[in-house]
Amino acid sequence: MLYYSDQMEEQALLQTAAQMCAAARTAPKATGKDVIYTMVITGEEKAALVAKMREFGERNFPDKGVAWYERDAYNVHRSQAVVLIGAKRSYRGISHCGYCGNKDCAACKEAGGTCVFASIDLGIAISSAVSIAADARIDTRIMMSIGKAAEEMRYLDEDILWMGIPLSISGKSIFFDRNPDPSKRDWT
């Protein structure tokens, strides 16, 4: 049996994505509460995410920021998959914590704030996941722009703070020269 490079690379990429999700799940959690969610996106769903990223950038950053979202969307377009890692917006009920800048969890929730522990857990989970990708020699970037678009995609019924990690296997990292002339971007 022959296995060609594109087949093996796809298999390696999806296996790495699965291991990244496992690493995010098993990463240490502040206060021992697990609020982490993971997801892998490819194909048509990835194309829809790219479209949402572009639309989000045009709507929310009509001037300078649209270029940022366009650049990131183009990287996602060229990647083979995206790992989403998110943390459920929740409150831990810790008395006299105040790390979020509010008096307590009730005040944070009333102010529409995000519990700092959810953000900490998300950061630890992302760090664990990208270390797996690095060990597998898969090119990645951590993108908040993917996360903002994913929030609007409403992949889950929960209120999730998402971050995205596009994955790429290619001869040269697609994330290296991230600011090519927009007129030379091939969106096909």
Per-domain boundaries in the chain: 29-41+80-177
C-alpha span between 29 and 177 (Å, rounded)? 35
Can you tell me whether residue 171 is helix, strand or coil? coil
Q: What is the pLDDT of residue 179?
A: 64
Q: What is the pLDDT of residue 95?
A: 77
Q: What is the pTM of this model?
A: 0.91
Give the chain's residues under pLDDT 50.
none
C-alpha span between 45 and 25 (Å, rounded)? 23
Q: What is the pLDDT of residue 94?
A: 81
Residue 75 CA from chain centroid, whole number: 13
Q: What is the pLDDT of residue 84?
A: 98
Q: What is the pLDDT of residue 65?
A: 64
C-alpha span between 4 and 136 (Å, rounded)? 19
Q: What is the pLDDT of residue 178?
A: 67
Please check whether residue 164 is in contact with residue 86, taking contact to mean a CB–CB distance below 8 angstroms.
Answer: no
